[in-house]
Amino acid sequence: MTTGLRERKKQATRAALHEAALRLVAEHGLDRVSVDDIAAAAEVSPRTFFNYFPSKDDAVIGLDPEHPLRLAEALSARPTTETPVQALRAVHAAEAARMAAETELWPLRLQVVDAHPALAARLTASFARSEQLLAEWLAARTGTRAELDVQPTLLAAVQGSVMRSALHRWRAGDYTASLPALVAEGWDQVEAGFPVPHR
């Protein structure tokens, strides 16, 4: 799992570009920051920027492209005695804990996403890749057809909704709540079929 110099440098450059993009956009706004600005802040040429990210938006979001695969692996590692929802809950719990530990970047990401609908769309698109793999895993797990049966596609999408809703409330409450708790609260709703709240 260790890395040569070359690989480490690439990771560093990628991270530098992402962080520069995120911080600059958080401070000045999406359309007042150019790719040239970002490249300059990360100390690479503008042309190099596009070796790392296909678009400015992607650099601002900057999620790990390997993430969907690791998610799928984590799910496959769950015991088959669990129901699909239980397995998803467990994986989400670990995920949320990891995200909450990044106390720097996630709040910034949520801030810029909130300020720029275009970025919200990109973030959702990033999740879409995970959802597709998830649907396939669900289909395999429950013996259903990923494309045609209800549960795989829908549950994969709902899982994304649970996470996004948790992130939204996390930010709305100024990060005082625990992200894993917010996620769990979402899953409770899902498992209970959205009961009418008592006043």
Q: Would you tell me which residues interact with DNA (CB under 7 A)?
A: 4-7, 9-10, 13, 33-36, 44-48, 50-52, 54-57
Nearest Cα residue to 35 out of 71, 60, 6: 60
Q: Which residues bind a copy of itself (CB under 8 A)?
A: 83-85, 117-118, 120-122, 124-125, 128, 142-144, 147-151, 153-155, 157-158, 160-162, 164-165, 168-169, 172-173, 182, 185-186, 188-194, 196-197, 199
CB atoms within 10 A of CB 6: 7
Pick between residue 45 and residue 83 the one whose CB is nearest to DNA.
45
Contact criterion met (CB below 8 Å) for 159 and 92: yes
From the list DNA, a copy of itself, none, pick the one residue 5 interacts with, judged by a Cβ distance below 5 to 8 Å according to partner type.
DNA
Question: 107, 106, 52, 96: which is closest to 71 by C-alpha?
Answer: 96
- Closest contact distance (angstroms) between CB of 179 and DNA is 30
- Rounded least distance, CB 198 to a copy of itself, Å: 9
Separation between Cα atoms, residue 189 and residue 86, nearest integer Å: 13
Closest CB to DNA among 31 and 188? 31
CA atoms of 75 and 134, how far apart (whole Å): 9
- Find out whether 119 and 61 touch, Cβ atoms under 8 Å: yes
CB nearer to a copy of itself: give 33 or 182: 182
